[in-house]
Amino acid sequence: MEYTSIGESCSVVSGGTPSRSKNEYWENGNIPWIKIGNIKSKYVNEYDELITEQGLNNSSAKLLKKGTILYTIFATLGEVGILDIEACTNQAIAGINITDPRITTDYLYYYLKSKKDYVNNIGRGVAQNNINLTTLKNFEIPLIDVDKQSNIVEILEKVERMICLKEKEIDDLDLLIKARFIEMFGDPYTNPLKWEKLKIKDAVTVEPQNGLYKPQSDYVTDRSGIPILRIDGFYDGIVTDFASLKRLKCSETEKQKYLLLEDDIVINRVNSIEYLGKCAHIKGLLEDTVYESNMMRMHFDPETYNSAYICKLLCSQFIYDQIVNHAKKAVNQASINQKDVLDFNIYQPPIDLQNQFADFIQQVDKSRFDIKKSIIELEREVVYD
C-alpha cells in the first residue's frame, strides 16, 4: 500500500479570533466565523457569529473557500466537516485543502473521521486536548484508486445515513424527557402546581466547593494517576464513560477534598457562554474520581431530592437564564461564582413524584444506551484498508 501525508498532499492552515475588544472587528460583520460547535454534520454552513473585513485582515483568521475540510485540533479533537460556504474559523479548527489529484475530498473526510480515536489518544496525558499543525500534517493517508475511493465513500454514506437516523432517535428521547418533566412538574417559569420555591443553598447537604486545579505536568498516561472529571466528560447531564477519563498525580489530601460521591451534581461554572452551567448527575463511579476547578460539586438530601430530578431542573432553560443573567463575560469565555449559583431558585415537588420521574429517566437511558450501542456497531462495520 502506497501512502502520502496530509502535509505532502494538502495545504493546511489554522484559524484565528479577531480581538474581542475591537468592536469594528465584529459589529455589522458579513464574514461567517465558524466554531467547533458549528461542526454538526458532514457539510458545515451554520454559524453563530460574523466578523468584518477589518477583523479578518487584522487577525490570524483566514477566509476558507467552499469545499475546505475542517478538522478540530483543540479541546474537542477529531471533529470533521466540509465547508459548504466561504468562512473563517477560530484557532481550534484547521482548514485542509487537497492539492493532490489522487485524493478526493469525500475520501479524505471519511478517512479523517476514522482517525478520531487515534487523535484523542495523542491528546491523552495533557490537561487540555490539543494537537499542533505539524502533527496533523504527519497523518498518513492510504493512496488507493479513485474508483475504489468512490466505492468506499458510497458505503460510508449509507452507514452515515443509518447513524443519523439513530441519532435522531436519541434526540427524540431527550425531547421526551423534557416533555415528561413539564407534564409532571409544570413549567418552572410559572410554577403552575405551586411547588415550594427555595434557594439551592437551602437544599444542599454538603458544603459546595469548586474543584481541583493541577498543572499539565501532573497529568499521566498510565493508570498510576487518579481519574479527573472535566467538562468534556459530560453528555446531556450524564457522564457516559468514566473509564476514559484523563488521569493525574494527586495527593491523598487532594483526593479526599475533591472526591466525587455517587449522586453528586457537578455544574460547569467557567467556559464559553453556551456551555456555562452544563451539569451532570454522578452515577456509576468505577473508582475514586476527582473533578476539575472549572466546576463545582453539590450534594442534595436524598430524602428530599432525587438527584435525577435536580439534574434535569439544573439543565433546564429556567436555570440557564439565571446563569446568563449573573455570568461575568470575558473574551471567549464566561464564568459564574459559587455564591450566585447557590442563590438560584429551585422547586421542591414531593419526593415520590421525583422518584417516578427518575424511574422514567432510567427507562429512557436504557433505550438511549441500546441505540448508542447500535451506532457503535454500525461504525465498526467500516474497515479502512
Q: CA-to-CA distance for 44 and 109, rounded, in angstroms?
A: 12
Confidence tier at 385 by pLDDT (50, 70, 90): very low
Q: CA-to-CA distance for 142 and 342, rounded, in angstroms?
A: 54
Q: CA-to-CA distance for 300 and 322, rounded, in angstroms?
A: 20
Domain count, the chain: 2
Q: Are residues 64 and 136 in the same domain?
A: yes
When pLDDT is averaged across residues 48-53 and rounded to a whole number, the result is 94
Q: Is residue 62, in this structure, part of any structural domain at all?
A: yes
Q: Are residues 309 and 245 in the same domain?
A: yes
CATH number for the domain that contains residue 244: 3.90.220.20
For residue 357, give the amino acid letter: F
Least confident stretch, 41-45, 296-300, 327-331, 341-345: 327-331
pLDDT at 368 over 90: no
pLDDT at 383 over 80: no
Which residue in this structure is represented by grid cell 476514522? 114
With residues binned 3-state (H G I as helix, E B as strand, rest as coil), the percentages for the chain, rounded to 5, are 40, 25, 40
Least confident stretch, 1-15, 76-90, 146-160, 365-379: 365-379
Q: Is residue 119, in this structure, part of any structural domain at all?
A: yes
Q: Are residues 138 and 223 in the same domain?
A: no
pLDDT at 192 over 90: yes
pLDDT of residue 241: 79
Q: Is residue 374, in this structure, part of any structural domain at all?
A: no
Closest among 344, 345, 327 to 336, alpha carbons compared: 327
pLDDT of residue 331: 61
Q: Is residue 176, in this structure, part of any structural domain at all?
A: no
Cβ pair 37, 92 in contact under 8 A? no
% of residues, the chain, pLDDT over 70 = 96
Q: CA-to-CA distance for 191 and 187, rounded, in angstroms?
A: 6
pLDDT of residue 381: 64
Q: pLDDT higher for 70 or 236?
A: 70
Q: CA-to-CA distance for 151 and 133, rounded, in angstroms?
A: 30
Q: Are residues 115 and 247 in the same domain?
A: no
pLDDT of residue 276: 83
Q: Are residues 202 and 105 in the same domain?
A: no
Global confidence as pTM: 0.71
Residues 6+ apart with CB under 8 A from 271: 231, 278, 294, 333, 334
What is the CB-side half-sphere exposure of residue 137 using CA atoms within 13 A? 10
Q: Are residues 132 and 15 in the same domain?
A: yes
For residue range 85-140, list pLDDT tens digits in order. Answer: 999 999 999 999 999 999 999 999 999 998 888 887 776 545 456 788 999 999 99
For residue range 312-358, list pLDDT tens digits in order. Answer: 999 888 998 888 888 887 766 788 888 888 999 999 999 999 999 99
Q: CA-to-CA distance for 126 and 116, rounded, in angstroms?
A: 17
pLDDT of residue 28: 93
Confidence tier at 16 by pLDDT (50, 70, 90): very high
Q: Which domain holds residue 211?
A: 196-348
Q: Are residues 78 and 211 in the same domain?
A: no
pLDDT of residue 332: 63
pLDDT of residue 325: 87
**What backbone phi and psi angles, to 5 degrees, belong to 361?**
-60, -40
Q: Are residues 29 and 110 in the same domain?
A: yes
Q: Are residues 137 and 212 in the same domain?
A: no
Q: Is residue 13, in this structure, part of any structural domain at all?
A: yes
% of residues, the chain, pLDDT over 90 = 64
Q: Is residue 366, in this structure, part of any structural domain at all?
A: no
pLDDT at 217 over 50: yes
Pseudo-torsion of CA 70, 66, 333, 121, nearest 10°? Answer: 0
Q: CA-to-CA distance for 125 and 76, rounded, in angstroms?
A: 15
pLDDT of residue 236: 60
Phi-psi region of 332 (alpha: psi -120 to 50; beta: other; left: phi over 0): left
Q: Are residues 107 and 234 in the same domain?
A: no
pLDDT of residue 384: 44
Q: CA-to-CA distance for 157 and 107, rounded, in angstroms?
A: 11
Residues 6+ apart with CB under 8 A from 312: 177, 181, 237, 357, 361
Cβ pair 297, 208 in contact under 8 A? yes
Q: In the listed set 142, 160, 184, which residue is the last one of a domain according to the structure?
A: 142
Q: Is residue 56, in this structure, part of any structural domain at all?
A: yes
Cross-strand partners of 43: 82
Q: Are residues 118 and 240 in the same domain?
A: no
Q: CA-to-CA distance for 372 and 4, rounded, in angstroms?
A: 34
Q: Are residues 208 and 135 in the same domain?
A: no
Q: Is residue 182, in this structure, part of any structural domain at all?
A: no
